[in-house]
Amino acid sequence: MTFFEELQWRGLVKDVAGEDIADKLNNEKITFYWGTDPTADSLHLGHYSSLVTAKRLARAGHHPILLVGGSTGLIGDPRPTAEREIISHETLEKNLAGIKSQVDRIFEGKAEIVNNYDWTKDYTFLEFLRDIGKYINVNYMLSKEIISRRLDTGITFAEFSYTLLQGYDFLWLYRNKNCILQAEGADQWGNITTGLELIRKIEGKEAYGFTMPLVLDKYGNKFGKSAGNALWLDLNKTSSYELYQYLVNVDDSMVVDYLKIFTFLSKEQIEELEAKNKEHPELREAHKALAREIITDLHGAAEFVKAVNISSSLFSGDVKSLSLKDIEIGFKDVPTISISEGEKLIDVLVNNKIASSKREAREFLAAGSITLNGEKFTDENMPVTSQLAIEGKVIVLRRGKKKNYIVKFG
């Protein structure tokens, strides 16, 4: 396969502008850009799908420019149903710093990171209208899906103008960075073509663009914070364990597509995993490979190993080898109970409704159904003390195979 054919095989090409774009990507070394607005202090898995594609282009020898929208972020592109919430300059600066550090880490310091605020902050409104606005027809803008879908409910002039601002970004990068290609998610096609139109009309030259299909979950939802299912690239927002759990449990029908989109595994490796997934789906080898590739690329091999160890320990119930921080990550959504130092085990079970009565508690204990940090206890009068606790702080109490509680001393 040629490089462009590989992009197509991976399902990474939707809309294309420029008849010889395949030749450019296969046989030349060009400068391209991908951009995002700093609407949060972290990118999420939806962004990562585009960043991985940008990284593919970089590995093929093309020069990546990653644009962070310090100016466009102050406006916000038109959402399907309503105007975006305006964020303050202070919040925007915080978000910019977070995103820049993530991009720099993912690209190992090899991507050129730019901020469109640098070339728009001194551009006056009148100059922008004369230099840029005069070249784009209102009817042309109304035909853009990103704008037309809001005409019935109403769209502000600020949102309406967003496509001009992003189009100008492409023109500026074309002029100043010899950037001839923009690659974005499919929802940015209208903005890409505005940039192409400006370059054609003002510079008399041809530029290129392509979009990637938006990555959806099994319910057809985007991986975005507005959809309520964001998986953040910031470890403090989404731990490697949480990311691991999500990825090893993705629907079987999605895992091969995700391997193509999110990983650098070869066609042969992916086809081998696809065959294994069909033959022995219960082993989830394709899912584990997906988790390994994404987490390692984002956070390093040590974080992947850590996620696997936490998952294995939680599944077995033997959590003594885990740190307090690991416990907090793995049991984030588990009920927490507070007990007194030295409280009898049977009272812990009854007082916190782990057992409905002392009789039921004794039955659980006799059956070996109660474990503290993975160890079975049967003595109902045993005092539960902080000496049993991980780092002297918490005990994981398990009833049966699935019911867990975090015990703290109050």
Domain coordinates in residue numbering, the chain: 3-215, 240-316, 336-409
Give the torsion sign (CA, 367, 370, 371, 372): negative
Q: Which residues, in sequence order, are CB contacts of 335 under 8 Å at separation 6+? A: 404, 405, 406
Q: Which amino acid, one-letter code, is at 318?
A: D
pLDDT of residue 227: 47
In order along the chain (410 residues), what is the average pLDDT of each group of 10 residues? 97 95 97 94 92 96 95 81 78 93 92 95 95 92 84 85 94 98 94 96 97 86 62 92 93 95 97 96 96 96 94 85 90 91 96 96 96 94 95 94 91
CATH of domain 3-215: 3.40.50.620
pTM of the shown model: 0.87
Task: Determine the pLDDT at residue 219.
Answer: 80
Residue 269 among known ligand-binding residues? no
Q: Which residues of 198-223 are buried (b: 16+ CB within 10 A; e: fewer)?
A: bbeebeeeebbbbbbebbebeeeebb
> What's the CATH superfamily of 240-316?
Tyrosyl-Transfer RNA Synthetase (1.10.240.10)
- Work out the angle between the directed axes of helices 240-248 and 301-316 (0-180°, nearest 10): 70
Distance CA 311, CA 290 (A): 16
* Helix H or strand E encompassing 164: helix 157-177
CA nearest to 298, candidates 105, 74, 115, 35: 105
Give the architecture-level CATH label for domain 336-409: Roll (3.10)
257 alpha carbon, distance to own chain's centre: 16
Q: Is 33 annotated as a binding residue?
A: yes
Alpha helix positions (H), 252-407: 252-262, 267-279, 285-299, 301-316, 324-330, 345-351, 358-366
Q: How many CB atoms lie within 10 A of CB 401?
A: 11
Annotated binding-site residue? 258 = no
**What's the pLDDT score for residue 209?**
97
Is 219 among the annotated ligand-binding positions? no
- Per-residue model confidence (pLDDT) at position 230: 81
Same fold, 3-215 and 336-409: no
Helices (H), 1-71: 3-9, 21-27, 45-59
Give Cβ neighbours of residue 171 (< 8 Å, ≥ 6 apart): 132, 195, 198, 199, 202, 203
